[in-house]
Amino acid sequence: MVAKHLYKVYQAGSTDEALQCLKENTDIKLVLADYFMPGKDGFAFLKAVRRQHKAEEVGVIGMSSYAKPENRVQFLKYGAADFVDKHCPPEELLLRISQNLDYMYRIEELNNLAMRDALTGLYNRRYLLEGVAKAVKSWPTSENSRHWLALLDLDSFKSINDKLGHDFGDAVLTSFARHLLKLSGERDVVTRLGGDEFCVVFRDKTEEDVVHLLESLLDTIQTSPVRHAGEEHHMRTSIGLAPIQEGKLGDALKGADLRLYTAKRTGRGQLVSTG
């Protein structure tokens, strides 16, 4: 019945099979879980789901033919978003599914906005320190490749705001963000840390490849002036690059920051890498 309404549906014949299905299909947003199931009951299954997935990641609607008040309460207590009697009309079940999915997508949208920089649309510092710092520990690498973190800081940005105004400064920041997005691959992560400081996490690349990309960026931005309200400005940036070793993003940030400081102190408009 649910599949006929164009929902993508997975079916599992036991609680263990259902947990494996959730693990293998990260697109699953909502689970309909019966109270009576082979292996574990619905409450034990729900507790197992909640150990792996937050409520805003995977919603659960409890179901039972025995719609006792205590069943309903227990499902909600253990983290279900809703409960429905299996004898309910089809329209009620579909309506509950629709409402729960709408709620989850709204939460997802709000979480996404909280992880984005309002001006540039890039990911923000929170996303880097919470999302990427956790995910990088499980990222695989190819032979002779590794993950890299580059810190980039626009040179003399304060003078741009002082001389040309904050509107022009915003135009410079958004232009620089576009250059970084063009530079990065689909799996790389570009963030604005705040002010005129940006970060790019490069996934599974050799140092030679990353250095080539960043040096190309230095050349590109100097020949691509920002034009706004009749004014023109040539951007320059200093860059510090460090490898992410053993999934430790914080250590890479410290290393890249030290190299960024060296790039600023020794002339600006340049890249300082591990070499």
Point out the least confidently predicted range of 67-76, 196-205, 232-241. Answer: 67-76
CA angle 54, 59, 65 (to 5 degrees): 130
- In percent, the amount of the chain with pLDDT more than 90 equals 66
DSSP states along 66-82: S--HHHHHHHHHTT-SE
Write down the pLDDT at residue 164: 82
Looking at domain 3-114, which of 3.30.465.10, 3.30.70.260, 3.40.50.150, 3.40.50.2300 is its CATH number?
3.40.50.2300
Q: What is the pTM of this model?
A: 0.71
pLDDT value of residue 150: 97
- Residue 77 pLDDT > 70: yes
- What integer is the mean pLDDT of 49-62? 91
- Class of domain 123-272 as given by CATH: alpha beta
Give the mean model confidence (pLDDT) for residues 214-241. Answer: 91
Q: Where are the domains of the chain?
A: 3-114, 123-272
Local confidence band at 220 (pLDDT 50, 70, 90 cut-offs): very high
Instruction: Tell me the residue ranges of DSSP E strands in the chain.
Output: 30-34, 59-64, 82-85, 123-124, 146-154, 189-194, 197-205, 226-228, 231-233, 237-244, 271-272
pLDDT confidence of 275, banded at 50, 70, 90?
low
**Confidence band (pLDDT; 50, 70, 90) for 121?**
very high
Instruction: Please report the pLDDT score of residue 229 as a whole number.
Output: 79
pLDDT grade for 64, boundaries at 50, 70 and 90: confident
Confidence check: pLDDT of 134 > 60: yes
d(CA 42, CA 30): 15
Share of the chain above pLDDT 70, in %: 99
Work out the pLDDT band at 266, boundaries 50, 70, 90.
very high
**Amino acid residing at 25:** N
Task: Give dist(CA 263, CA 153) in Å, integer.
Answer: 10
Q: Contact 157/176 with Cβ under 8 angstroms? A: no
The whole-angstrom separation of Cα 25 and Cα 54 is 16
Q: Do domains 3-114 and 123-272 have the same CATH topology?
A: no
Average pLDDT over residues 31-35: 91
State whether the Cα torsion 91-93-95-101 is positive or negative. negative
Give bridge partners of residue 272 from the DSSP assignment.
240
Confidence of residue 29 (pLDDT cuts 50, 70, 90): very high
Express each pLDDT in 145-202 by its tens digit. 999 999 999 998 888 888 888 899 999 999 999 999 999 999 999 999 999 999 999 9
Average pLDDT of the segment spanning 111-132: 92
Higher pLDDT, 39 or 239: 239
Catalytic residues: 196
